[in-house]
Amino acid sequence: MKTKIKDIEAKTKDSRKIIISSLSREDASDFCQCLNMIMVENKNDRTLTASYPNTLEDLKIFILNVTNSENDFILIAKIDSGIGNKVVGICDFFDSTEEDDSEQVAEIGVSIISEYQGKGIAYLLMKNCIEIAKTSTNIKKIILTVKEDKINAKNLYQKLGFKITNKNEQKKFYWMELALLHFVTLMIISSFVFFTNYVDVSPPL
Ligand X SMILES: CC(C)(COP(=O)(O)OP(=O)(O)OC[C@H]1O[C@@H](n2cnc3c(N)ncnc32)[C@H](O)[C@@H]1OP(=O)(O)O)[C@@H](O)C(=O)NCCC(=O)NCCS
Binding interface with ligand X (CB under 6 A):
42, 48, 110-112, 117-123, 146, 150-153, 155-156, 159
User: Based on CB atoms, which residue is closest to ligand X, 66 or 122?
Assistant: 122
Least Cα distance to 111 among 47, 17, 166, 63 occurs for 47
Least Å from the CB of residue 42 to ligand X: 6
d(CA 50, CA 177): 18
Least Å from the CB of residue 143 to ligand X: 12
User: Based on CB atoms, which residue is closest to ligand X, 134 or 147?
Assistant: 147
Least Cα distance to 132 among 43, 70, 51 occurs for 70
- Give the phi and the psi of residue 177 in degrees, each rounded to 5: -150, 160
d(CA 14, CA 16): 6
Residue 54 is given by DSSP the state S
User: Based on CB atoms, which residue is closest to ligand X, 123 or 134?
Assistant: 123
C-beta nearest to ligand X: residue: 122
User: Based on CB atoms, which residue is closest to ligand X, 15 or 202?
Assistant: 15
Least Å from the CB of residue 16 to ligand X: 13
